[in-house]
Amino acid sequence: MKALRTIAVDDEPLALERLCELVRGTQGLTLVGQAQNGLEALDLIASVEPDLIFIDVEMPELSGFGVVAALDGQRIPGIVFVTAFEEYALRAFDVGAIDYLHKPLTKARFAAAVDRARQRLERTSEIDWRTVPPGAARLERQRGLRTRFVVRRGNSHHFVRVGDVDWVDVADNYVQLHVGEQGYLVRGTMNDLDEELDPLRFVRIHRSTLVATDRIVSIQPRESGGYVVELRTGIRLNSSRGYADRVRALLCARNPRSRTRR
């Protein structure tokens, strides 16, 4: 029987120690790493590519759901959530997790989760696992408006604050965050971001473009319809007719006396 390469993630040292102890003491599991926060977990997952993750849900900075939502690799590991809160049980299964464990952890319940994990991993295809990060992302959206993004460079992950983003456009299966002269790719869709970002801070001017309203220095109508939106950085972006109402609303909000004929 091939051992499952496993990592453990929990922000509480004693809880992490208990989780690692259970992994080490379970036949068929090999502990290949541990992490105490979400960014450490993402770096570790990218580096060691585990088969299975036991991860706490409620962690500061980045929750367990947030970690799973940010997974972006060829191999998506099996996920078992660990939580002290029963209400997360159904949410864990909605995401597509293999199982959830309720604290305090017991050997019997842990062993049952491992058995379920082995069965699921043996019969579930890689394509099936690809649905897990989007499911976690949907749960993250329920927690409120987005305040930051998790971005990856190589095997390293870090946060980009929403307030630092100038504008966003689409790049294949990703959205690209423009922060000054830097660009960061984040898996997702423009429709997702349209829901996740504060509408008072971002305006969608095109089906593939969102702009931070406080970065806009001028808005000029185009003869062909729509507008040209200029940012503080000098970037000029075209809005489309389909989103002209949003741009006009922004114009009126900035200058209540302004009137447009488009």
Same domain, 65 and 183: no
Which of 139, 160, 175 terminates a domain? The answer is 139
Domain membership flag for residue 201: yes
12 and 130 both lie in a single domain: yes
Convert 191-214 to b/e letters by CB count within 10 Å (16 or more is b): ebbeebbeeeebbbbbeebbbbee
| Residue 179 resides in a domain | yes
Confidence (pLDDT) at 126: 58
Q: How much is the mean pLDDT over the chain?
A: 90
Query: 261 lies in a domain?
Result: no
pLDDT tens by residue, 54-67:
999 999 989 999 99
Q: Are residues 161 and 227 in the same domain?
A: yes
The pTM of this model reads 0.88
Query: CA 123 to CA 17: how far, in whole Å?
Result: 31
* Cβ burial, residue 215 (10 Å; 0-12/13-18/19+): middle
Residue whose C-alpha is closest to residue 140's, from 91, 177, 72, 98: 91
Structure tokens at 129: 């696992």
> What pLDDT, on the 0 to 100 scale, is given for residue 122?
87
Rounded to the nearest 5°, which phi and psi values hold at 63? -75, 170
| Distance of alpha carbon 253 from alpha carbon 233, whole angstroms | 22
Does residue 175 share a domain with residue 161? yes
In a domain, 175, yes or no: yes
Same domain for 19 and 129: yes
Query: In terms of domains, do 26 and 102 share one?
Result: yes
Q: Return the minimum-mean-pLDDT range out of 190-199, 231-240, 244-253.
A: 244-253
Tens-place pLDDT, residues 190-229: 999 999 999 999 999 999 999 999 999 999 998 878 899 9
109 and 155 assigned to the same domain: no
Q: 65: domain range?
A: 4-139
Residue 260 inside a domain? The answer is no
167 and 126 fall within a common domain: no
Percentage of the chain beyond pLDDT 90 is: 70
49: pLDDT strictly greater than 80: yes
Indicate whether 225 belongs to any domain: yes
Task: Give yes or no: residues 220 and 99 share one domain.
Answer: no
Taking the C-alpha atoms of residue 230 and residue 210, their distance in angstroms, rounded to an integer, is 13
Our count of domains for the chain comes to 2
Which one-letter DSSP state was computed for residue 27?
A: T
Q: Confidence band (pLDDT; 50, 70, 90) for 255?
A: low
Nearest-5° Cα angle at 49, 192 to 102: 70
Are residues 170 and 128 located together in one domain of the fold?
no
From 114, 139, 164, give the residue that closes a domain: 139
CATH classification of the domain holding 123: 3.40.50.2300
Report if residue 20 sits inside a domain.
yes
The answer to whether residue 45 sits within a structural domain is yes
Contact 167, 204 (CB under 8 A): no
Which of 80, 110, 139 lies at the terminal end of a domain, its last residue? Answer: 139
Say if residue 26 is in the same domain as residue 55: yes
CATH number at residue 236: 2.40.50.1020
Residues 148 and 219 in one domain: yes
